[in-house]
Amino acid sequence: MAQSPGRSGNDSGTAADQAADRTAEQSAGQPLIEQHTIEVIPAHERFGRPVSLFGIWFNASLGPLTVITGALGPQVFGLDFLWSVVALLLGNLAGGVLMALHSAQGPQLGVPQMVQSRGQFGIRGTILVVALVLVMYVGFFASTLVTGAQSLQGVWSGLPTTPAIVLVSVAGLVITVFGYRYIHVSSAWATYAFIPLTIAVFVGILVHGLPGDFLRVGGFGWSGFLGAVSVSVLWQIAYAPYVSDYSRYMPATAAGLRGTFWWSYAGSVLSSVLMMLIGIVIALMIKPGGDVIAALNPILGSTLGRIVLLGFFVVSATSNALNLYGAVLTAVTAVQTFAERWLPTPGVRALLATGIALFSTALAAVFSGGSFLANYENFIAVLQYFFIPWTAINLIDFYVVRRGDYDVASFFRSDGGIYGRYSVGAIGVYLVGFLVEVPFMATTMYTGPIADALGGTDLSWVVSLVVTVPLYLLVARRGREREAAPREPVLAAVGED
C-alpha cells in the first residue's frame, strides 16, 4: 500500500530502515559517477536514510557566507547584540519550516524540485522560475567562491585572489562531477570535522575577550529588525528550490515526512544560527563595516584562526558543490522543457558543470572587491521577492491541494500531460504574489511607498504570503476537475510497498 505523505518512516531500526540499508548496500555496486540527472529515480536505485540529511544541511550553512549574513544585523541594520540574535533566531526558525517541508517532496516523488514544480505551473510555465533559480545558483556559487577564497588568503596571505577563487571552484566542481552520493559523503565528513572547530571558535572568542562596550553598540529599530529577520528567513527559503534534490534517491518507505523534515530542519537551522551568531559577535568586536572573515586571525590567534579559515575553505568547496549540482539540474530542466527526449550523459553533465563553474568563477572575480557586502545584500533582497510566492504555491499545492498525489509521468511529457504546458491560474497567482510586494519593498535600489511611509520597514514577504496562499487555494481547487481521470497514485509508482 502506498504511504501517505502525512505519515512517515523513522530511524529506529524498523523493517523500513532495514530495507533502506539493503538498498544502500546494493548501491555500492553502482558506477562511480552518478548516471541520472532529472529523470525519476527507479525504486531499485533508491538508498539512504533521513539522518544523512543532517550532514547535508548542516554543512550547507557552515561557510563564511553564513557568517557574513549574520554580520548584516549589526553592520547593515544597526542592531545591537540582543536584537541581532532575536532576529536571526526568529528568521531561521520560521524560514527553516518552509525549507524542510520541501525536503519531503524528494523521496515521495523521486524528481528534482524544479521538475516537481511543473505540477503547479505546467511544463513550460515553470521556465520563469527555473531561470530565476539558475540565476540564484550562479549568484550563490560566485559568492561562496569569494568568501572561500578570502578564507584561503587568510591562511596564505600571499595568495592572489584569482588563483584562490579558482582553487575553491575546482574543488566544488570535482565533487559535483561525481554527483549525489559524494555530495552526501563529503558533506558528512565536513560536518564531523567542523563541529569541534565551531566550539573552538566560541571558546577562542571568550578567551580573547569581548570589548567593554560590546552590549552597547547598536540599538533597535523596527526597520532594521524586520530587515534582519527577513534576511534570515530568506537564507532558509533560498534552499527551497533545491532541498528535495538531495533526498530524491531515498526510498519513500524509509524517508517519510517526519524523518526528512526534522533532519533537514535540524541541520540547516542549527548550523545557520551558530554561524550567524559568530558573524554577529565578530561584527560587534571590530570597527563598523570591517571584514569579519579577516578578523578571525587576530581574534582567535594565528594558529586557531588559520585552522578555522582552512575549515571554511573546505566547507566552501563542499557546500558549493550543492550550488553547482543544483545549477546543472536546473539547466537540464530548462533545456528538457523544450526538448522532451533529451537527457545528458554523465560526460555531458560534467561539461555542463564545468561551463557553469567557469562562468561563475569569472563572475566571482568581478565581485571580489570592497563592495562585496553591499552587492551580496542587494542580491539576497531581490531573491526574497521572487521566491516567496513560489514557495507558497509549491508547498500549498503539495501538502493541501494534492496531498503528494502527482502524475509524475506528466512532468516529462511535451504537452505537460494533465498539468498542461502552462497553468494560467498558478502563473497569475505567482505574478500577483510578486506585484503585491512592490509597495512594501525596501532595498538600496528601490523603496516602495508603503515601506517608505513605515520608515524603510520591509514587510513584502509577509504580505506576499498572506495574499498568495488563499488566492492559490481558490484557483487550484477550481482547476482540479480536469485532472480527475483515474490513475495510479504517485507513491506506488515510485515503488513504495
Question: How far is residue 494's CA from residue 5's CA, in Å, rounded to a whole number?
Answer: 13
| Residue 418 forms part of a structural domain | no
Q: What is the pLDDT of residues 22-56, one digit of tens each?
A: 434 444 455 678 888 888 888 888 888 888 899 99
In 10 A of CB 311, how many CB atoms?
A: 23
* Cβ(408)–Cβ(105) below 8 Å: no
| Residue 371 forms part of a structural domain | yes
Question: How far is residue 322's CA from residue 141's CA, in Å, rounded to a whole number?
Answer: 9
* Cβ(102)–Cβ(244) below 8 Å: yes
161-176: average pLDDT: 91
In 10 A of CB 168, how many CB atoms?
A: 27
Cell numbers given for 114: 524544479
Question: How far is residue 247's CA from residue 52's CA, in Å, rounded to a whole number?
Answer: 9
Handedness of CA 431, 437, 443, 447 (dihedral sign): positive
Amino acid letter at 446?
A: Y
| Residue 396 forms part of a structural domain | no
| Residue 36 forms part of a structural domain | yes
Looking at residue 326, its pLDDT comes to: 92
| Residue 358 forms part of a structural domain | yes
- Does residue 7 register a pLDDT over 70? no
* Cβ(246)–Cβ(53) below 8 Å: yes
| Residue 366 forms part of a structural domain | yes
Max mean pLDDT among 303-317, 338-352, 418-432, 437-451 falls in 418-432
Comparing 266 with 441, the larger pLDDT belongs to 266
Question: How far is residue 272's CA from residue 291's CA, in Å, rounded to a whole number?
Answer: 19
CATH number of the domain within which 203 lies: 1.10.4160.10
- What residues pair up with 447 in beta bridges, in sequence order? 442
Q: What is the secondary structure of 341-398 as a DSSP string?
A: T----HHHHHHHHHHHHHHHHHHHHHT-STTHHHHHHHHHHHHHHHHHHHHHHHHHII
Q: What is the secondary structure of 297-341 as a DSSP string?
A: HHHH-HHHHHHHHHHHHHHHHHHHHHHHHHHHHHHHHHHHHH-TT
Provide the mean pLDDT of the chain.
Answer: 83
Among 16-25, 406-415, 482-491, the range scoring the smallest mean pLDDT is: 16-25
Looking at residue 479, its pLDDT comes to: 64
- Does residue 10 register a pLDDT over 50? no
Q: Who contacts 373 (Cβ-Cβ below 8 Å, separation ≥6)?
A: 68, 72, 75, 76, 289
Of 138, 471, 181, 119, give the one whose Cα is nearest residue 327: 138
Owner of C-alpha cell 507558497: 392
* Number of residues assigned to the chain: 497
Question: How far is residue 168's CA from residue 482's CA, in Å, rounded to a whole number?
Answer: 49
| Residue 146 forms part of a structural domain | yes
pTM: 0.83
Q: What is the pLDDT of residues 306-359, one digit of tens each?
A: 888 888 888 888 888 999 999 999 999 999 998 888 888 888 999 999 999 999
| Count of domains forming the chain | 1
* Cβ(333)–Cβ(112) below 8 Å: yes
- Does residue 409 register a pLDDT over 60? yes
Cell numbers given for 147: 568568501
* Cβ(285)–Cβ(35) below 8 Å: no
Cell numbers given for 286: 571590530
* Cβ(312)–Cβ(63) below 8 Å: yes
Which residue range(s) make up the domain with 47? 16-23+31-379
Terminal Cα-to-Cα distance of the chain (whole angstroms): 6
Q: Who contacts 15 (Cβ-Cβ below 8 Å, separation ≥6)?
A: none
| Residue 187 forms part of a structural domain | yes
